[in-house]
Structure 1
């Protein structure tokens, strides 16, 4: 009986550890994968570790994350420990209320915390950057440290302090020689928790960060659209090995070496030296460097090659702070709510309408953009910005049905075909209400921008009928399901279709009779921009044929620069997934800002997704 119990315990423990650590093991394995996409294994390589060392954006984000985590943890531990001791020792009016208030940062949703930080820093007229990020992280980390240290103090024997004082120790000696050593496990635990939370934070960091303070979690999150590359897997593997090594060394020291006072002093000296070095690096790291003009650029993730940024920096002798976002709504929230001095932003057509109405952007001086002559006239003077007063084209594209011909032979000529019962639980579609509700509206011959309740009701009913066919909603990386075969049909971004076909040659892009709804991403200059002329020079730089071709080489979107076409891979130019045929685009509407009616689309989307049992 005991043997059976022992076996069951071992099996249970193995399952628990497997559940916890198998995802980490998969990440480590795929850090050695030849393929840039994490969907399939294509062979062993160490190239991603080499590439990591040359990726300035990732290394810069890592440096920022570590600086923020170390500094915020240090202050959170000092302030939090002293606050916990004070609240433990002393009685005062309102103590219970204060203790209750400590839990607010712990239980409050991070989105609320992030927005409140953005509003607070804006009220103080404090520019978003590394300082605001550190202050925000200290604010939410302090509560965690206090809670953990206070829990340790609850088991503390006050008689130890009283005995020390009776024996002639001063209050400071009692604190440093008696109290702190006894509660040090709680302090260390609180510090580790604060460090982990700071290093891992995304939402609060997004709202508190500025152009020069992109963090590693923000960088990784923004990369999801193209799939997190094995470079990130490689970095995560290195960080895990380093962390595990530190934990094992610390445990060894705790068990053996700390009994030796000399080793204690040596370790204290090493820690102090590291702190002094770190503080010097943070405070004086830029001393001696020539002051350069700065361009603060805010762009979609994975939308501009690092090499292009570096060429611009070298040629113009400037510094480019490159920050990213993953949705127009994120970008708008940040520009509307904070004192963030971006000089140049890339955003989508309907968002530009909103920004013009809200006076968030200013007119562009086209005299500073002579290479505008290279741009296709078909992507200029569009409805969202007549005469291109406020915006200039960057990239564009559309959405397509993609089918796996190894599984589906049936021809699809219109959106109606998606409702075929043959495709039950095999479809991946974009998680975007305007796009998918718009597709259902198009299917019925309605405007994609309609606010007519009856037309929207019909679209909702049709989408609910489509739900049995839908396996997944995915706007970030729908190509993954198409590559690995989990989905045999999809309605996805054209670029995702192109990338999926590179990995799975059985996939085919379908051009339906409804045509293609184009989506345009343009450059705009915020009203608060400090370097407007430099922003215009950057646009002009991008419009050089060789630079535009370089962008298209790395990111397969439709490029509006006709002068660059001779330099672009013909395979991309002739693929309808990347460059929609002009006849398929003409006559189709653009997605427009529908104002308050946006709520109608969101409500429909919620009902449709909740209808799947």
Structure 2
């Protein structure tokens, strides 16, 4: 018996360790002195202080709490009335309606998000509203109310209807009967359903991404955008706080479901907790707007971690324009939102081939360059390119290349180009971009083709090459591949030059190799959608960041290649001499930009699916 008991304890310990070890590590490293998650250097609370000093995070937290509290109240009201009605009354079609109520619970979130986006896009022009907090609250109520109905109805199971009949026989009205008899019995279920709805709203990412507007980024969306440049202790601190709130919710729900629990005490604590949440959200809302006056607004849609907050702050202070900064993680995500009718973005950043796509789909308006005098600083080499001749629709922002990073302490042979990545010595040791055009393009370049090649026979050869490469690939990562290079998990990487540069700063054993077959160049550009409402603000912002001193500030924080010739004169020479960021001129001249390949993208999609199986 004792042996079984010991075995049971060990077994349970292993199971719980497997489940919760990653969470414990996350919490632990939120207190790490170092920014690098791989090494513990000492205890510190500085990341929590940094967290609450970040205005964009405070705004996202404010939005999240407003949405969660409002949608919870509405979900509880609708869910409770529905549950009582469905329990009390019998009518034709009740079974069908019952089934319909459960659809939001079982339907995939991605489907729900797309459906919501399509619906709001259809009605927003008719009703003259924009995607934002209102659409987020409606969406959250839609998927939360079913959970409330389920929890409250489970509480009603076994409820003695004779109690209601007795109360009405004694002269109580139906309303009095509900509040005096029914409500006290189902109150634990109502609170439990409310806590569940609050937790679901607090953690939602997928549906929120589709229905959020430029000024309504939520905390989970903010966290998702922050991880592009690595999971820092600041993100760990934010995740720890969210985890703590979720755990409190779960504990309260469990206590309410236990028959032995002191219901009054639990309900009192739950009420105090919810009131505290509402008070905190109000406080954060006030804190996030301290000293603010009514401002004109500018809605920007950009890659995450691509523009310093300090630059945004300076622009807001100088022009008294509030910037609502939203982010995406791929060109395709951005395109999907614009195609679906998201019409509240004034300024968008799009890569070269995506600019071409947006022009063809008539989504962009021409830019009046006369209103952007600082365009004179733009390097002629990045202007008038094939994707937008004459720069009618786009203005360059930053550019970069995909390079090879090599850990010389782990690789004992010389790497000069893409062909060397197939060396058997690199088994399970390469991190590459999670980007189908870049990776298939790399295989095409190895075979001597253009990265924009669409011939089926050439693509079939490239597919086979990539299938052969799979045994060497440790990870596909476009968000933060430098992390694997820094901590030594990957000895070679085919990643963005900026990632190589950042990794070399932390790991001195790394060196950058410019592939001899030719580099893949990507240029990001500012564009203005046709439906933009603040074109003047967008022009002011572009002109502002083209000031040499502002442009340098951006490069100092995010080491992408800067096309601003005025910035080069005052930029640190170590940045300009970094070949990971600024490849040799001959490499740039022979490099290739991605182009829009039209319907041929289906061939790339098929190859990518086969490779990633």
**TM interval, short-chain normalised:** over 0.9
Q: Is 1:476–2:479 an aligned residue pair?
A: yes
Q: Please tell me whether the aligned partners of residues 38 and 227 of structure 1 are also in contact (alpha carbons under 8 angstroms).
A: no
Are residues 39 and 84 of structure 1, via their aligned partners in 2, closer, same or farther at CA, if it must alter by over 3 Å? same
Q: In the aligned structure 2, how far is the partner of 1:24 from the partner of 1:484?
A: 20
Q: Distance in 1 between matches of 2:91 and 2:250?
A: 40
Q: Which residue of 2 aligns with 1:358?
A: 361
Measure how far apart 1:136 and its partner are. Answer: 0.9
Of 145, 148, 167 in structure 1, the residue corresponding to residue 148 of structure 2 is 145
Q: CA RMSD in A?
A: 2.8
Which residue in 2 is equivalent to 1:177?
A: 180
Counterpart check, 1:406 vs 2:409: yes
Task: State the Cα deviation string for residues 356-387 of structure 1 (Å, max 9, x = none).
Answer: 01111111111111111111111111111111
Provide the C-alpha distance between the structure 2 equivalents of 1:393 and 1:99, rounded to a whole number of angstroms: 55
Contact 1:516–1:580 (CA<8 Å) still a contact in 2? no
Q: 2:571 and 2:480 mapped to 1: Cα distance?
A: 24
How far 1:178 sits from its partner (Å)? 2.3
Question: Once the 2 structures are TM-superposed, how far is the Cα of residue 247 of structure 1 from its aligned partner?
Answer: 7.6
Q: Report deviation, 1:106.
A: 1.2
2:296 matched to 1:297?
no
2:348 corresponds to 1:331? no
Specify the SS of the correspondent of 1:4. helix
1:442 aligns with 445
1:146 and 1:295 map into 2 onto residues whose CA distance is: 40
Q: Answer yes or no: is the 8 Å Cα contact 2:387–2:595 preserved in 1.
A: yes
Q: What runs of 5+ residues in structure 2 fail to find an aligned partner? A: none
The CA deviation at 1:202 is 1.0
Structure 2 CA distance for partners of 1:383 and 1:266, relative to 1, 3 Å: closer
Distance 1:145 1:414 in 2: 58
- Conserved? CA contact 2:62–2:285, under 8 Å: no
Unaligned 5+ segments in structure 1 are none
Query: 1:121 and 2:123 equivalent?
Result: no
2: distance between equivalents of 1:24 and 1:355?
Answer: 41
Name the CA distance, whole Å, in 2 between partners of 1:541 and 1:280: 33
Residues 1:99 and 2:98 are matched in the alignment: yes
Secondary structure at the aligned position of 1:549 is classed as helix
Report what 2:111 is aligned to.
112
Give the drift of 1:590: 1.0
| Separation in structure 1 between the aligned mates of residue 612 and residue 545 of structure 2, nearest angstrom | 40
- Kept in 2, the 8 Å contact 1:419–1:466? The answer is yes
Cα distance change of structure 1 residues 45 and 568 upon mapping to structure 2, 3 Å threshold: farther
More displaced, 381-390 or 566-575?
Answer: 566-575
- Asked if the contact 1:156–1:183 (Cα under 8 Å) also holds between the matched residues in 2, the reply is no
> For 2:529 and 2:142, how far apart are their aligned partners in 1?
30
Is the deviation greater in 163-172 or in 48-57? 163-172
Kept in 1: contact 2:65–2:281 (CA 8 A): no
* Deviates most, 193-202 or 235-244: 235-244
| Cα gap change, 1:266 to 1:246, in 2 (>3 Å) | closer
How far has the Cα of 1:494 moved from its partner? Answer: 1.1
Is 1:225 aligned to residue 228 of structure 2?
yes
**Structure 2 residue aligned with 1:528:** 531
Task: Flag the 1:239–1:420 CA change in 2: closer, same or farther, 3 A.
Answer: closer
The equivalences for 1:185-224 within 5 A come to: 185-224=188-227
User: Shift of the alpha carbon at 1:257?
Assistant: 8.0
Distance, in Å, in 1 between the alignment partners of 2:244 and 2:215 is 28
Matches within 5 A, 1:327-476: 327-476=330-479
2:30 and 2:268 map into 1 onto residues whose CA distance is 39
CA distance in 2, matches of 1:494, 1:267: 51
Provide the residue aligned with 1:131 in structure 2.
134
- After superposition, give the CA deviation of every residue in 1:326-352 in whole Å (9 maximum; x if it has no partner): 111111111111243111011111110
1:608 correspondence with 2:607 = no
Does 2:4 correspond to 1:8? no
Most deviating of 77-86 and 39-48: 39-48
Whether the 8 Å contact between 1:220 and 1:228 is mirrored in structure 2 is no
Does residue 164 of the first structure (1) align with residue 163 of the second (2)? no
Counterpart contact for 1:113–1:204, Cα < 8 Å: yes
Q: CA deviation at 1:250?
A: 9.8
| Contact 1:211/1:340 (<8 A) preserved | no
How far did 1:116 drift? 1.3
Describe the shift of the 1:266–1:300 C-alpha distance in structure 2 as closer, same or farther (beyond 3 A): closer
Q: Are 1:483 and 1:504, in contact at CA under 8 Å, matched by a contact in 2?
A: yes
**C-alpha distance in 2, partners of 1:532/1:468?**
50
Q: With structure 1 as the length reference, what TM-score do the two structures score?
A: 0.93
Question: Aligned-pair distance for 1:570?
Answer: 2.4
Q: For the structure 1 residues 268 and 235, does the alpha-carbon distance in structure 2 shift closer, same or farther, using more than 3 Å as the test?
A: closer
TM-score (norm 2): 0.93
**Do residues 20 (structure 1) and 22 (structure 2) align?**
no
Residues 280 and 18 from structure 1, CA distance in 2 versus in 1: closer, same or farther, beyond 3 angstroms?
closer
**TM-aligned CA deviation for residue 413 of structure 1:** 1.6
In structure 2, what is the Cα distance between the partners aligned to 1:58 and 1:132? 21
The 8 Å contact of residues 548 and 561 in structure 1, kept in 2 or not, is answered as: yes
Tell me how far 1:227 sits from its aligned partner.
1.1
Question: Residue 518 of structure 1 corresponds to which residue in structure 2?
Answer: 521
